Structure 1
Amino acid sequence: MRDAFDRGSKWLIGHHGDSLLRLGGAAGIRSWRALQAEVVHPRKLPDGLLEVYFEDRTDPDLFLVEVATYADQRIRKQLVRDIGLLLIDRQVLPEVLTLVLCPRGNVQVGEKEELRSRLGWTGAQFSWQVVELWKIPAEQLLAAGDVGLIPWVPLTQFPEPPEVVLRQCRQRIEEQAPVEEQANLLALSQVMTRLRYNDPGLLVLFGGRETMIESPLIQELMAEGEAKGEAKGEAKGRCQGMQKALLRMVEVRFGSVPSEVANHIQAIGDEQKLLDLLTQTFLCPDLEAFQNKLSS
């Protein structure tokens, strides 16, 4: 994800990055920390940059993590760019993990990209690890005993009715997660569930609207845009900040934001209307319902 970051995925990378690396096949992790991805082009940062120490090594390894909502062949170009930026900035070739959440027809991300100059004098090949979440058995994540993997479970493969698996997810979060992380993990599990199922009843299993509102992560997301607008000290600035917050909430709740929806939101200059629409992102079961509210 590049043009509009999924804040939930970035939070999971920052707080449970080792969980994702184990999902990708990394073993023997001794310790790790998320790095500030301050590279040459700050508007084109990777989703996650992790410094990892393994049990059999004294020097750390650098891992670049990208999370894509849907399979898209353009991701390969993004990965090549990210690798190139890190080579310039840190003089290190990172290990790369791409987590793809949902399928899109027969499209595949692919595990490598080859570049050739026009005359063929110069060439390069990049490769990386790809995890397609819908192909991973849910029991594998549940059996890992790692609460950082639980929000991804709704997008995995399982034969049981979704209610059965999602109840297990909530139970694991309530029993295993630190108290200060439970609201965020429940909210993010709800976001992931919404990517796969158009069923408001399933969202209730994670607390529904109340959980979303109580999540510090979601509160931060909503407040961020308003704060930026208020700092400008004018109504126009506040509206611009609220527009940004609303666009991010639409992305978190419903996935990618269609251009017509983004254009409509950016044209709204009424603060109360924007505030009402922020509330509707919690109340509407799907993007179509939100679009109806947007047009009303």
Structure 2
Amino acid sequence: MGVTSVPTAVEKLASRGSDTSSKARHVDRLAGLATEHLLAEMKLATIAESFVQAGWAGTNLAIAVRMTKDARGARLRYVLATADGLSVLPAGIKMPAGVELLGQEASLQFFWEQAGNRHAGQKLAAFAQQNPADGQLVYLVTNDTRNTATLSGDFGATESVQTDAERKRLAETGRILPAELTRSELLPPRIPPQQAAEFVDEFGKTWGLGRIDNVVQSAKIRLWAARWDRHRSADPKYPALLATYLYCEARDALNRGDALEAAYSIDTALAIEPQRATTRL
């Protein structure tokens, strides 16, 4: 079996806007891309807009296109990484179909090495380098316009950068994908919604979070402030900050009567082992 073909509808979307010199001037970098690589650009643009709508504007995102070979043959996978955690999706986010999360497959060791790294593309490149059996990295694109250095020297991959102007042109030419999936539909939580409150309470006790200010906004700001990169070393409190944010998010969802969202938040949080987060808040 050959590489999974990109749906005809997507090919039609990808071809829009390239028939005039005016439009071409705005999408020069995109014009020569293979269809499957352009699809990654479209997914990234869609997700970036969803993050804006969810109140997380400015979050660094990256998508890797990985070639995987298994019993079904060769296929392409589109894997998302975010600045927060490995691939944290905030409550209220809407996602396009056909996207996987880096956090789904990364080991706990990888999480402890990379969680909170502002450079989302570096996480994807590092994972591909450390896990060659999980597929070949064939394309990598980020919205991180502040980091212009490629990754080719460190991780054997070159990182493309999608600018705000390119994202705007993709939208203007109808090449933004439908974002209709909630995060729970994209990746259903393992915790049944009817047990979400029980798991949230237990998580709070384990982490000693019952005494904190359970306000999502303040927890989010602290989490953002702890993002790190090559110019700033990782905060040893980062895992505790992420656990606190996810706990507050789950509590907020329960208060709104949304047990499914609470289940997603606390399911994500359970991957953070408190015994390894030696520095508490």
**Which bin holds the TM-score, normalised by the shorter protein?**
0.3 to 0.5
| Higher Rg of the two aligned structures | 1
TM-score by length of structure 2 reads 0.34
User: Which structure has the higher relative contact order (CA within 8 Å, separation 6+)?
Assistant: 2
- Higher share in helix: 1
